[in-house]
């Protein structure tokens, strides 16, 4: 009996991870249908029949929608209220997780969900086993597309737009956390350059929270070309491997984890040249993963380890433990750093 119980538990464990990809795609479906937005617009738990009509889906698909909601309720994205008004009809409300999927929210992750789960990004995962077996020196993504991801983005406007919207969506959450809980990191700064800043979401958030800080977005020319005009943020096109515009602080969000250690050292040396001495307020602000094997939160640890493998197949980069970060900082000529955990990521302040 114990042996068969263990066998069934093992089978369930395997099924759970096989179906993980399907859960992600059903979540993407819910975002694309606008389910969170429809519930939010109602202002209170939304009866199922009204949800169906608000989504403008055929009545024949109502039973299928109920099954989709059943799964996403189980996984924590919606709350069900059985027979809320004595009509015998279920109603649905949002959870903190689905509130992050509202397209109108300043901290929306809707574009991140849709972009990261797009087939153009997921297709290289089908080649992982072939990549491991081959002598191909590059990434699985390059093996699939015939070129590095950044060249692919430059040559494919659809992918470029999806990717930048996804990064901007993710940045909105980071920006809110930083300006709320990490204000001290920006104390005394007069200028900041956001390297790889995409459409300027973070820089605009900093400029709004700290009007005295002159903010600049520095990214590849084809990226800053899509950035909306802003009276408070300057857009500069260029290559971070060649130069970094001067500022009191350089901000790098999810940049270094896309790179090898050697590439990180090269960019950090350019950052060091761009900022003043520590006594004059110079620093590099990094938002990235700091792997922690002692982390007790299962979801945080799993998220970090998944990101590590995503970087491996996408860019050849990696997530780093603290001692690995310290080695990179030291080789680049920095003398001190400070780590502040932010969920699955951390704010790392690096000082010359």
86: pLDDT strictly greater than 70: no
Collapsing DSSP to helix, strand or coil, 216 comes out as strand
**In angstroms, rounded to a whole number, what is the distance separating the alpha carbons of residues 229 and 270?**
27
- pLDDT band at 294; cut points 50, 70, 90: low
Of residues 283, 281, 288, the one with CA closest to residue 303: 288
Over residues 187-240, the pLDDT tens digits come to 999 999 999 988 888 898 899 899 999 999 999 888 888 788 888 899 999 999
What is the pTM (predicted TM-score) of this model?
A: 0.84
Over residues 247-263, the pLDDT tens digits come to 999 999 999 999 999 99
Over residues 302-327, the pLDDT tens digits come to 889 999 999 998 888 999 999 999 99
**In angstroms, rounded to a whole number, what is the distance separating the alpha carbons of residues 83 and 48?**
11
Q: What does the pLDDT read at residue 191?
A: 96
Q: What does the pLDDT read at residue 229?
A: 82
295: pLDDT strictly greater than 70: no
- Asked if residues 174 and 202 have their Cβ atoms less than 8 Å apart, the reply is yes
Of residues 301, 263, 278, the one with CA closest to residue 349: 278
Q: What does the pLDDT read at residue 240?
A: 92
Contacts of 179 (CB under 8 A, 6+ apart): 186, 205, 206, 209, 210
Of residues 203, 194, 196, the one with CA closest to residue 153: 196
Q: What does the pLDDT read at residue 325?
A: 97
List, by residue number, the catalytic residues. 257
Contacts of 190 (CB under 8 A, 6+ apart): 212, 213, 214, 248, 281
Q: What does the pLDDT read at residue 336?
A: 94
164: pLDDT strictly greater than 90: no
Q: What does the pLDDT read at residue 293?
A: 58
pLDDT above 90 coverage of the chain, percent = 55
Over residues 13-36, the pLDDT tens digits come to 998 888 888 999 999 999 999 999
- Mean pLDDT, rounded, of the chain: 90
- Which tokens belong to 72? 């996403």
Of residues 291, 228, 299, the one with CA closest to residue 217: 228
**Residue 143 burial (CB < 10 Å; 0-12/13-18/19+)?**
middle
């Amino acid at each position: 009996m114990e042996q068969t119980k263990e066998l069934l538990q093992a089978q369930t464990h395997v099924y759970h991870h096989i179906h993980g990809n399907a859960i992600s795609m059903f979540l993407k479906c819910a975002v694309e249908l606008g389910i969170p937005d429809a519930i939010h617009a109602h202002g209170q738990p939304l009866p199922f029949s009204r949800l169906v009509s608000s989504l403008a889906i055929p009545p024949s698909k109502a039973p299928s929608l109920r099954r989709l909601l059943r799964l996403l309720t189980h996984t924590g994205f919606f709350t069900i209220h059985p027979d809320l008004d004595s009509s015998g009809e279920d109603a649905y409300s949002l959870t903190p997780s689905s509130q992050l999927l509202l397209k109108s929210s300043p901290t929306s992750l809707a574009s991140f969900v849709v972009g990261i789960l797009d087939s153009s990004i997921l297709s290289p995962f089908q080649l992982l086993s072939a990549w491991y077996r081959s002598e191909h020196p590059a990434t699985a993504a390059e093996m699939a597309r015939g070129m590095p991801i950044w060249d692919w983005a430059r040559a494919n406007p659809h992918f470029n737009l999806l990717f930048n919207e996804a990064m901007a969506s993710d940045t909105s959450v980071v920006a809110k956390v930083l300006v709320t809980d990490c204000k001290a990191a920006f104390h005394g700064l007069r200028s900041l350059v956001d390297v790889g800043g995409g459409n300027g979401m973070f820089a605009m958030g900093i400029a709004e929270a700290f009007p005295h800080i002159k903010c600049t977005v520095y990214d590849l020319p084809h990226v800053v070309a899509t950035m909306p005009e802003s009276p408070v943020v300057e857009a500069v096109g260029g290559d971070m491997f060649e130069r970094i515009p001067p500022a009191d602080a350089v901000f790098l969000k999810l940049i270094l984890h896309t790179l090898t250690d050697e590439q990180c050292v090269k960019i950090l040396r350019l950052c060091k040249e761009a900022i003043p001495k520590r006594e004059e307020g110079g620093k590099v602000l990094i938002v990235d993963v700091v792997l922690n094997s002692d982390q007790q939160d299962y979801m945080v640890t799993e998220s970090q380890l998944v990101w590590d493998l995503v970087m491996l197949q996408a860019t050849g980069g990696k997530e780093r433990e603290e001692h690995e970060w310290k080695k990179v900082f030291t080789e680049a000529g920095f003398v001190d750093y400070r780590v502040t955990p932010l969920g699955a990521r951390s704010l790392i302040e690096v000082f010359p």
